[in-house]
Amino acid sequence: MSDLFNEKAKEWDQNEMVLQLSKGTSSAILENINFNDQMQVMDFGAGTGLITAQIAPHVSSVTAVDISQSMLDKLEEKTNLKDKVKTVCQDITKEPLEQKFDVIMSAMAMHHVEDTNLLIQRFSEHMKSGAKVALADLDSEDGDFHPAEVEGVYHDGFDRAILQSILEKNNFKDVQFVTAHTVNKEVKSYPIFLVTAIKK
């Protein structure tokens, strides 16, 4: 499987839009999840660890999962995260992990996964009873957030009501949405939601 982020990884942490989005999303996750130092967390689609770096100080450990080894390589260069963070280059929809988590978080990764229902099902399977998800992504948009030539984008954002029904179908309750951040491009603004839910 080709690494679609091989080139992007080199400059990812210098991208101002990415940095602002990560900052806004991290703040929303911290406001909506009560982390503690016993928790084991999965960061799905962790990339270079911009979200992981904000959450790791508050928890026991973070397992940073991504299918881009080049992005995870950048994360592994961040020596301040070594004690808390383990990286796993794996597609958990096809090859689940053995571990169960207290929190699964994700930022701007779900639109890269074709089968949303399967992904949410896998999240549920990787969680302890009473565990929480905190998932951030684009609200439904008309397809111009990503340039047309970008590969690996399967969804032009998500309809909140449809995503809520997928979560509830896969054993989640107390589904709540907030707007975590807004990406302002030249002609348009794109809201980013954060949805939290509890595994039954």
Look up the pTM and report it.
0.92
pLDDT for 16 equals: 83
The C-alpha atoms of residue 18 and residue 103 are separated, in whole angstroms, by 23
Residue 140 phi, psi (nearest 5):
-50, 130
pLDDT digit string (tens) for 145-194? 888 778 889 999 999 999 999 999 999 999 999 999 999 888 889 999 99
Label residue 18 by pLDDT band (50, 70, 90): confident
Rounded CA-CA distance 176/164 in Å is: 8
pLDDT tens by residue, 27-78: 999 999 999 999 999 999 999 999 999 999 999 999 999 999 999 999 999 9
Residue for token digits 């210098």? Answer: 14
Q: Which domains does the chain have, with CATH numbers?
A: 8-199 (3.40.50.150)
Q: What is the pLDDT of residue 146?
A: 85
